Amino acid sequence: MHKKMIAPLVFGVLGVAILLSLGVWQLRRLAWKEALLAQIEARIHAPAVALPARPDAARDKYLAVSVSGRIEKPEIDVLTSRESFGPGYRVINALVTDGGRRILLDRGFIPLSQKDSVRAPRHLQVTGNLHWPDETDSFTPPPDLKAGIWFARDVSAMAQALGTEPVLIVAASQTGDGVVPAPVGTEGIPNDHLQYAITWFLLAAVWLGMTAYLLWRIKRRAD
């Protein structure tokens, strides 16, 4: 081997090794994420239990619960969209449980045209999942309180607005008044690790090809 080939060879081998290791790491992350999603799905679809006395976001997220109580006005309408329906709102009400607790209930989705439809207070039994959605950031507009429109589900802010505990149940069962349940799912949890792994492996292949081509040129010139 010509001595001019040593440095490019070492550089090429190191580069390929690093890129391959990144791809393998992403495959491990993929296995971890798939296991996590399976755990979340199992938790979402587990038999419903009574609402915990002190729900905790870290411990009880996605917990399936069943409560009965009375929906109260006013409601919060959170601007959103659904693939099958187009733009609309999530309807959030205060729910006063039979035990006297005030919590938030995400009843589901309505189209834009139904925002001002009459949805009177009513008593119901509802099954759903505890959720603390992470939907706000520095770019989220503040609620338009005059129009009654919110742009994200902020549990703390909604609880303050409706005078409830900072606890949100996302309904999986029907709550009436034409509101379509929009239950919790794992669809919005990103899982791009396979795509990242493929990208790293392709980059490793390109790096290997470029290294081989460079070594071939050096050898040809030396000969």
Would you say residue 46 lies in a domain?
no
Q: Do 70 and 167 share a structural domain?
A: yes
Taking only the tens of pLDDT, the chain with its 223 residues reads: 567 778 888 899 999 999 999 999 999 999 999 999 999 999 999 999 999 999 999 999 999 999 999 999 999 999 999 887 889 999 999 999 999 999 999 999 999 999 989 898 999 999 999 999 989 988 999 999 888 899 999 999 999 999 999 999 999 999 999 999 999 998 878 899 999 999 999 999 999 999 998 888 887 777 6
The number of C-alpha atoms within 13 Å of 25 and in the hemisphere containing its C-beta is: 7
Q: Do 128 and 160 share a structural domain?
A: yes
Q: Do 125 and 84 share a structural domain?
A: yes
Written as six digits, the tokens of 115 are 């925002």
Would you say residue 132 lies in a domain?
yes
Asked whether 89 and 80 are in contact (CB, 8 A), the reply is yes
Q: What does the pLDDT read at residue 1?
A: 59
State the amino acid at position 172 in one-letter form. A
Q: What does the pLDDT read at residue 124?
A: 94
Q: What does the pLDDT read at residue 60?
A: 96
Q: What does the pLDDT read at residue 2?
A: 66
The closest of 184, 186, 187 to 108, measured between CA atoms, is: 184
Would you say residue 130 lies in a domain?
yes
Q: Do 130 and 79 share a structural domain?
A: yes
Q: Do 147 and 74 share a structural domain?
A: yes
Please give the Cα distance from 136 to 134 (Å, whole number).
6
Asked whether 27 and 193 are in contact (CB, 8 A), the reply is yes
Domain span including residue 212: 3-39+190-222
